[in-house]
Amino acid sequence: MKIRVYYEDTDCGNVVYYANYLKYMERSRTELLRENGIELAELHKKGLIFAVVEAHVKYRAPARYNDLLDVESRVTEMSTVSLTFHTTIKNRAGHLLVTGDIKLACLNSNNKAIRIPDEISETFTAAC
């Protein structure tokens, strides 16, 4: 997906504030799920949520105000209760700026780990 860097995303040096990359990664994960027919709002209604349990981010180069970023996520690992997404963020010229590996656990409404529903695990089994 494409994300434009707005002034509100930057720090006093006019570069993207480091924590905002996590927001970009979340948007990309959500869109990947949506593209595969998985709506998080529907899962929430069923008492199922995905919560971040690990985040590993490597910052290679800064993005700046008004840059157009290319943010791409894919599932790289899956267990019975978790999904790990790898995300890359590049600038318009294709230079790699940030990479991240974010692990999400599938939880019920009591915040207990539960098995990922079959329709989700089947969607990403081939990708892992």
As annotated, the active-site residues are 11
CA–CA separation, 62 and 95 (whole Å)? 10
Residue 104 neighbours by CB under 8 Å, 6+ apart: 29, 50, 51, 52, 53, 82, 83, 84, 85
Count of CB atoms within 10 A of residue 72's CB? 12
Q: Tell me the DSSP string of 13-34.
A: TSBB-TTHHHHHHHHHHHHHHH
Q: Which two tokens stand for residue 30?
A: 């959500």
